[in-house]
Each structure stands twice: as structure tokens, then as C-alpha cells.
Amino acid sequence: MSRIGKKPIDVPKGVEIKLDGNTVNVKGPKGQRSFTAPDEVVVAMEDSAVTVKPANDSQRARAMWGMSRTQIENCVVGVEKGFTRSLVVQGVGYRAQAQGRTLKLSLGYSHDIDFAIPEGIEVKTPKPTEIEVSGIDQQQVGQVAANIREWRKPEPYKGKGIRYADEYIFRKEGKKK
């Protein structure tokens, strides 16, 4: 049995949930999200909580059970609090600057990189060496952060590049004479 799937999803104040078959529409202070659960699970509203149960005892139904519950919970948390991913730019002359819907990156290339910020995502640069990616969709926030990091991954010798704030870069010793 799924330990995650068994837990009911509490609906906080200020968040509205509407069920339409297996489609869950979540509306909150930060925006609106929806998730369509697969046919293998049954989504129900009980009191002020949402429960997810498998429709039958098949392997796929059990696999979809915990995943569907987590996706619905991510919708609720996203519209209530939102998700944030922090990146650190490390290296001499490396910097980032948010300008409207564009992130300007100077990463040691012969030109600056203009990264277009997708809809639903907000990017802030509190310092020239820090980038904060935030939004209501956890998957989209993580993907945008990964796309930014892709421009200059951290290297193991000096640690230069763009890394996640909570990421540890295993440092290597250089060549010796």
C-alpha cells in the first residue's frame, strides 16, 4: 500500500478546490492550477480534505495512487505558497541580471546570454551572483532553473559555473609537477 497515497490532502484557508470527475481545479492567492488524475485512481472530497484511492488492485493503479496524490498536493502548495529554486553564479566576471522578462547572463563567453523567462515564472537577482526562480508549478520552476544552469555547469577544479544553492560540488585536486 502507498504510504503517501493514504494521507489526505488538507485544504488550507484561501484555497478553493473543485472536482470535475478526475480533474482537480485548485484556485488560491497566487493563481490557478489544474490536474487531471488518471482513470486508475478515484479523487474524492471529504470534509475539508481531498483523498485519492486506487480504482482497482492493479499494479498501475497502485503506482498512480501516490503520484496523483503528490501532484494534487503540489497544486495546493503552489497556489498557496509557490515554489522557489535558488542558483548561485560563481566565477570571476560571472554575473546575472534580470531585466523585465529576460535574464542577462555574463558567463565568460564572447557574448552575453539573453535567457527568455517563460510565462508563469518569475526570476529575481537579489545580488549579481544569485538567481531566484519562483512560480506556482514545481515542475516548471525546476525545469527553468535546470535550463539556466545548463549554460555553464559547475566544474570540479575551481567550482566556476552556475550551481544550485544547496548543491555540493565535489572539488578535485589539480595536476602536480
Residues 74 and 93 in one domain: no
- In the structure grid, which three cell numbers stand for residue 25, read together? 481545479
Nearest Cα neighbor of 77 from 140, 30, 123 is: 30
Residue 173 counted as domain residue: no
Instruction: Specify if 174 maps to a domain.
Output: no
Boundaries of domain holding 98: 83-164
Q: What is the pLDDT along the chain (177 residues), one digit of tens a residue?
A: 678 888 999 999 989 999 998 899 999 999 999 999 999 999 999 888 999 999 898 999 988 999 999 999 999 999 999 999 999 999 999 999 999 999 999 999 999 999 999 999 999 999 999 999 999 999 999 999 999 999 999 999 998 999 999 999 999 998 887
Whose grid coordinates read 471529504? 46
The predicted pLDDT at position 169 comes to 92
Q: What is the pLDDT of residue 42?
A: 92
Q: Are residues 22 and 69 in the same domain?
A: yes
Q: Which residue from 141, 137, 4, 140 is spatially nearest to 67, judged by alpha carbons? A: 4
H/E run at residue 132: strand 130-135
| φ/ψ (deg, to 5) at 176 | -115, 155
For residue 82, the SS3 value is: coil
Nearest Cα residue to 121 out of 147, 155, 96, 89: 147
Number of domains in the chain: 2
Look at residues 46, 80, 114 and tell me which one is the last residue of a structural domain: 80
pTM: 0.88
Q: What pLDDT sits at residue 18?
A: 92
169 falls within a domain:
no
- Cα–Cα distances (Å) from 10 to 89, 111, 140, 150, in that order, read 37, 49, 23, 36
Distance CA 72, CA 102 (A): 31
Q: What is the CATH number of the domain that holds 143?
A: 3.90.930.12
Q: Are residues 90 and 56 in the same domain?
A: no
**What local confidence, expressed as pLDDT, does residue 4 receive?**
86
pLDDT at 151: 95
The answer to whether residue 177 is domain-embedded is no
Quote the pLDDT of residue 177. Answer: 79
Q: How far, in Å, CA of 100 to CA of 32, rounded?
A: 23
CA-based max dimension of the chain: 71
Answer with the one of 31, 50, 80 that is the final residue of a domain.
80
Among residues 80, 101, 133, the one where a domain terminates is: 80
Do both 19 and 72 map to the same domain? yes
